[in-house]
Structures are given as C-alpha cells and as structure tokens.
C-alpha cells in the first residue's frame, strides 16, 4: 500500500505530497508544479507553488491537510 506524506510551507505557500516508500530520480518543473519521478517515470511526489491560490484553499486548510495521515 502506498503511504503518502503531506507537507505545507505556509511562508512560501508550497504544498507537497510524496510517496515515502519510493525514491525519486528526477524532478520536472511545470509552471507552478514540480513533479518528482522515479526511474520508471512514475510520479512519486508533487510540489505545488502558490498552492492556496491554485487549489482555492485557505492556508489554514492546507496546513491542516499537511498534518493528515
């Protein structure tokens, strides 16, 4: 089963989700999103810049998501 870890940097408004059981090989920046891929090209993580604006969520909501397991 995939175990996801969430993080939110409120100061820089960056939300991240990553599969903690898989290692990334390369990061691909796409505008306000960075995709982390493993050696097979599968997404193992994502970072969203300006997350509150792009996801239409309050920073406090993103912060509470980061604490979710």
pTM metric for this prediction: 0.86
What average pLDDT score do residues 3-28 get?
94
Looking at the predicted structure, is the pLDDT value of residue 2 above 90? no
Looking at the predicted structure, is the pLDDT value of residue 27 above 60? yes
Give the helix/strand (H/E) hosting 6. Answer: strand 4-9
Closest CA to 3 of 14, 25, 17, 19: 19
């Amino acid at each position: 089963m995939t175990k996801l870890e969430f993080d939110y940097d409120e100061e820089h408004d960056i939300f991240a989700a990553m599969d903690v059981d898989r290692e990334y090989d390369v990061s691909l920046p796409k505008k306000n999103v960075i995709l982390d891929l493993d050696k097979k090209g599968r997404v193992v993580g994502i970072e969203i810049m300006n997350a509150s604006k792009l996801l239409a969520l309050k920073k406090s909501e993103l912060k509470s998501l980061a604490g979710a397991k």
